[in-house]
Amino acid sequence: MSGDVKTAGSDAALKNFQRLIDVGIALSAERDTNRLMEKILLEAKDLTDADGGTLYIKTDDDALKFEIMRTDSLKIALGGTTGKDITFPPIRMYDPETGQPNQKNIASYCALTGESINIRDAYEAEHFDFSGTKKFDEGTGYRSKSFLTVPLKNSQDEIIGVIQLLNATDKATGEVIEFSKEIQPLVEALASQAAVALDNQQLLDGQRRLLESFIELIASAIDAKSPYTGGHCQRVPELTKMLAKAACDDHEGPFKDFELTEEQWYELHIGAWLHDCGKVTTPEYVVDKAVKLETIYNRIHEIRMRFEVMKREAEVEYYKALAEGGGDPAELKAALDERLAKLDDDYEFVARANVGDEFMAPEHQERIREIGKMQWTRTLDDRLGLSFDERKRKDRTPPKPLPAKEDLLEDREDHVVYRDALEPAAQPDNPFGFKLNIPEHKYNFGEIYNLCIARGTLTEEERFKINDHIVQTIIMLEQLPFPKHLKRVPEYAGGHHEKMDGTGYPRKLTEREMSVPARIMAIADIFEALTAADRPYKDPKKLSDSIKIMSFMKKDAHIDGELFKLFLTSGVYKEYADRFLEPYQIDDVDIAKYLE
Spatial CA neighbour of 260 closest among 55, 462, 444, 515: 515
SS3 category, 430: coil
Please work out, in degrees rounded to the nearest 5, the angle formed at the alpha carbon of residue 139 by the alpha carbons of 135 and 142: 85
Peptide linkage before 227 cis (omega within 30 of 0)? no
85 and 177 fall within a common domain: yes
Spatial CA neighbour of 304 closest among 358, 337, 343, 355: 343
Does residue 456 fall inside a structural domain?
A: no
Integer Cα distance of 476 and 100 in angstroms = 52
64 and 99 fall within a common domain: yes
- The rounded mean pLDDT for the chain is 88
CATH number reported for the structural domain that contains residue 155 in this entry: 3.30.450.40
Over residues 1-9, mean pLDDT: 50
pLDDT at 15: 64
pLDDT tens-digit map of 326-374: 889 999 999 999 999 999 999 999 999 999 888 999 999 999 999 999 9
Over residues 118-131, mean pLDDT: 91
Least confident residue range of 33-47, 149-163, 506-520 = 33-47
Query: Exposed (0-12), middle (13-18) or buried (19+): which is 335, by Cβ within 10 Å?
Result: middle
Predicted TM-score (pTM) of this structure:
0.74
Report CA torsion sign: 372, 376, 379, 385.
Answer: negative
Does residue 220 fall inside a structural domain?
A: no
pLDDT tens-digit map of 64-117: 999 999 999 999 999 988 889 999 999 999 998 899 999 999 999 999 999 999
For residues 499 and 42, the model is more confident at 499
248 and 319 fall within a common domain: no
Spatial CA neighbour of 56 closest among 193, 152, 194: 152
474 and 419 fall within a common domain: no
Residue pair 111/103 in contact (Cβ under 8 Å)? The answer is: no
Does residue 112 fall inside a structural domain?
A: yes
CATH number reported for the structural domain that contains residue 511 in this entry: 1.10.3210.10
Integer Cα distance of 53 and 48 in angstroms = 11
Instruction: Please report the DSSP string for 81-149 in residue order.
Output: GG-----SPPEESB-TTT--B--SSHHHHHHHH---EEES-GGG-SSS--HHHHHHHHHHT-----EEE
Last residue of a domain, one of 205, 235, 269: 205
Question: pLDDT class for 570, splitting at 50, 70, 90?
Answer: very high
Report whether pLDDT(247) > 80: yes
Integer Cα distance of 573 and 246 in angstroms = 11
52 and 189 fall within a common domain: yes
Query: How far lies 442's CA from each of 261, 274, 421, 578, in Å?
Result: 43, 25, 10, 42
Report whether pLDDT(2) > 60: no
pLDDT at 25: 61
Report whether pLDDT(28) > 80: no
The fraction of the chain above a pLDDT of 70, given in percent, is: 92
Last residue of a domain, one of 205, 237, 271: 205
> Where in the sequence is the domain holding 178, given as residue range(s)?
27-205
Last residue of a domain, one of 142, 175, 205: 205
pLDDT at 8: 47
321 and 370 fall within a common domain: yes
pLDDT at 548: 94
Instruction: Please report the DSSP string for 467-490 in residue order.
Output: HHHHHHHHHHHHTS---GGGTTHH
Over residues 239-253, mean pLDDT: 94
pLDDT at 5: 45
47 and 184 fall within a common domain: yes
pLDDT at 553: 95
SS3 category, 16: helix
Question: pLDDT class for 284, splitting at 50, 70, 90?
Answer: confident
317 and 387 fall within a common domain: yes
Does residue 2 fall inside a structural domain?
A: no
Over residues 202-222, mean pLDDT: 85
Does residue 385 fall inside a structural domain?
A: yes
237 and 332 fall within a common domain: no
70 and 193 fall within a common domain: yes
252 and 334 fall within a common domain: no
Least confident residue range of 15-29, 129-143, 499-513 = 15-29
Integer Cα distance of 266 and 272 in angstroms = 10
Number of domains the chain is built from: 3
Does residue 11 fall inside a structural domain?
A: no
pLDDT at 232: 84
51 and 118 fall within a common domain: yes
pLDDT at 228: 64
